[in-house]
Amino acid sequence: MRRPTFNLAVGTAGIVTCAVIVALGVAAESLVGVPFGLPDPPIVAVLGVILYGIMANVCYTAGWISELVIRRAWPGEAEAFATLSFSLGLVFSVILTVIPVIVIGPSVIVGIGLKLAGVGGNE
């Protein structure tokens, strides 16, 4: 019952992350001729997204398995645990999903600035 909410939130964050990274790479290539932030070869990005999706599902599944264990061991605490673990898992999953933008975004912007200023690299 919680899966659609999780998939929608994490999927939306993933789409936004991919779009921002591609936009930064395209902007860098058009401004300075170097696609900062885009992997070479591009298949690395595709493989990364697939691996991320597999691991996100493994983690989600571990969450509901732990919830089943808690329901059996401490039935009175199960609902509170379920709500808290889902909420924290969702927040951390969305943060994990946007980390590439947080890490690569500033790097690309600095790289573009340095390249435009003529600092470093092959001219």
Q: Each residue of 24-47: pLDDT tens digit? A: 888 888 888 877 777 778 888 889
User: Is the confidence at residue 123, as pLDDT, over 60?
Assistant: no
Instruction: Give the separation between CA 117 and CA 123, rounded to whole angstroms.
Output: 11
Check residue 46 and give its pLDDT.
86
pTM (two decimals)? 0.76
The sign of the torsion formed by the CA atoms of 96, 99, 17, 87 equals positive
**Domain range summary for the chain, segments of one domain joined by +:** 40-98
Check residue 13 and give its pLDDT.
93
Average pLDDT, the chain: 86
Check residue 19 and give its pLDDT.
92
Instruction: Give the separation between CA 36 and CA 56, rounded to whole angstroms.
Output: 27
Check residue 122 and give its pLDDT.
55
Residue 8 banded pLDDT, cuts 50, 70, 90: very high
